Amino acid sequence: MADSALPSFIVLHYLKIWLASVRYSLVRSMMFRGDFIMWSMVEFFWMGVNVAAIAVIYQHTDSIAGWSQYEMLLLIGTSMLVQRLLMGLFWSNLFEMGRNIRSGNFDFFLEQPGHPLFMVSTRKIDLDSLLNVTVALAIVLFAVNKLGLSPSLGDIAIYVTFVGCGLVSSYAIVLLLASVSFWTIGTKGVESGYFTIYEFSRLPKQAFSGVANIIFVWILPTVVISNAPARALISGFSIPDAIWVLSSTLIWLSLGIVVFQAGLRRYSSASS
């Protein structure tokens, strides 16, 4: 009985730690309300520009790589949804890791009552990004309505699962890139590079061919994080898509954790 209760105790323990981080983030955001409102509006404007660009492009064409205007809008909304979740939950935490490693403040996370990876990843949340998750959802729902889709509960569950896998894959890549800080001076160039690569998630996979198809569709999870969920709503469940999403997620998450753990061992030995 004691052994069976242990996993529940661990989950409850980490949930309490995360809720404490959420409370800290809420207090911090309310202390700097002007900053919170400004960045919320900046992100909202950026999302509006992307949606407007789709409207302008489809004034001159009926299809892009076989995707209609509202199918493309669904794709864009899904990409935004994954990215807003990533930015809100993990982004600033992971890219502060490099500064903490260089300054020695990373020791603080090693002393916390949880695994260093969890503590590093969940130190705070960015409410401005999470607020705009609702905007991304509104875009998705608008596109679904315009397409005349009536997804079942199963289709919605698959969409949510695929979006979750996209979030985990994106987190894993950012974790891997941020973990480079254990060996290098900084990750500013890596950060901008990630945003450049992520732009490809707003394109249908049919638009890629040759080397680009190999890199952005099959090696990097750039395209799968948006295409698979969108297709789940448009065309229903697909076994190849499910295998594609799940295998990509597991591979990249494993790789991210391995690199972080290797860096952690290097940091520990350097400071001992």
Domain segments of the chain as ranges:
2-271
Which pLDDT score, from 0 to 100, does residue 259 have?
A: 94
Which pLDDT score, from 0 to 100, does residue 82 have?
A: 94
Band (pLDDT 50/70/90 cuts) for residue 2 is: very low
| Model pLDDT for residues 15-54, shown as the tens digit of each residue | 888 888 888 777 776 776 666 677 667 777 777 777 888 8
Band (pLDDT 50/70/90 cuts) for residue 1 is: very low
Which pLDDT score, from 0 to 100, does residue 98 have?
A: 78
| Model pLDDT for residues 245-259, shown as the tens digit of each residue | 999 999 999 999 999
Query: Do the Cβ atoms of 44 and 135 come closer than 8 Å?
Result: yes
* 206-218: average pLDDT: 85
- For a pLDDT cut of 90, what percent of the chain falls above it? 31
Q: Which of 242, 74, 215, 79 is nearest to 146 (CA)?
A: 74
Query: Do the Cβ atoms of 94 and 120 come closer than 8 Å?
Result: yes
Q: Is 94 helix (H, G, I), strand (E, B) or coil?
A: helix
| Model pLDDT for residues 132-171, shown as the tens digit of each residue | 888 899 999 999 999 999 999 999 999 999 999 999 999 9
Distance CA 166, CA 77 (A): 13
Q: Which of 16, 246, 234, 224 is nearest to 114 (CA)?
A: 16
- DSSP code at position 139: H
Which residues, including other chains, have CB under 8 Å from residue 51's CB and lie 6 or more apart? 73, 76, 139
Which pLDDT score, from 0 to 100, does residue 99 have?
A: 80
Which pLDDT score, from 0 to 100, does residue 199 have?
A: 80
Band (pLDDT 50/70/90 cuts) for residue 76 is: very high
